[in-house]
Chains A and B, each alone.
Chain A
Amino acid sequence: QQQVKQSPQSLIVQKGGISIINCAYENTAFDYFPWYQQFPGKGPALLIAIRPDVSEKKEGRFTISFNKSAKQFSLHIMDSQPGDSATYFCAASPHGGSEKLVFGKGTKLTVNP
């Protein structure tokens, strides 16, 4: 049972372009939505996270947009750089349940120079 659907599976953008990765969820009890970044041969690392009381959160070139009514959230990477090439995972969890964190299947981003 996939509770978080992530798309696209892979994404290729040119340096300087905008990368957009989308996720949709079904469980209305989810109240924490993190994005993890994973480089080849490394473990995932938290990139940015949002809670449903805000519609957008920005950290540098990375922005999460959250649409509670549509049960969708997305990651935007502005001015994409080759160093951003990695696999990105969205995730969601309900309150008080880190063990209930559910991951999307991942998006492999390639930024061409």
Chain B
Amino acid sequence: IAGITQAPTSQILAAGRRMTLRCTQDMRHNAMYWYRQDLGLGLRLIHYSNTAGTTGKGEVPDGYSVSRANTDDFPLTLASAVPSQTSVYFCASSEGRNTGELFFGEGSRLTVL
């Protein structure tokens, strides 16, 4: 089934550890995004990429980094995890930055202790 695959589904992580959340799409979409979802705060954009080779900062980028080496993959890295990064992380994609509709993965639940 075409769409976005995120891994891991859930993870418990010790503070200070490095963690990479993986995201792969098979729709050949140009744009990809990482959001975090926290209760009462909705969805907040962390980083985005409008096309392979480019990335940009969203609303809450601190403590996170991304790369976009090719069209399909958009990993999110936490260099040194902190408890405030406990959240559900969603990867999304869109055909382009003008099309509006975002397609979301099923999320990665991360707990930092």
Whether B40 is near chain A, meaning CB under 8 Å from some CB there, is yes
Among A61-69, A76-84, A94-102, the one that faces the other chain is A94-102
* Total count of chain B residues near the partner, CB < 8 A: 28
**Complex contacts, A95 vs chain B, CB 8 Å:** 98
| B-side contacts of A103, CB under 8 Å | 42-44
Contacting residues, chain B, for A98 (C-beta < 8 A): 31, 33, 94, 96-100, 102
**Nearest neighbor of A34 in chain B, beta-carbon distance:** B100
Contacts of A105 in B (CB 8 A): 40-42
List the A residue with the shortest CB-CB distance to B107: A43
Query: Are B42 and A46 closer than 8 Å at their CB atoms?
Result: no
Interface size, chain A (Cβ < 8 Å): 24
CA distance A96 to B97 in the complex (A): 6
A89/B97 contact (C-beta < 8 A), A43-B90, A98-B31 known = no
**Which residues of chain B have C-beta atoms less than 8 A from A44's C-beta?**
43, 90, 102, 104
Whether a CB of chain A sits under 8 angstroms from the CB of B50 is yes
Q: Which of B44, B58, B97, B106 contacts A42 (CB 8 A)?
A: B106
A105–B56 Cα gap in the complex (Å)? Answer: 23
Q: Which residues of chain A are near B106, meaning CB under 8 Å? A: 41-43
- CB proximity of B64 to chain A, nearest CB, Å: 15
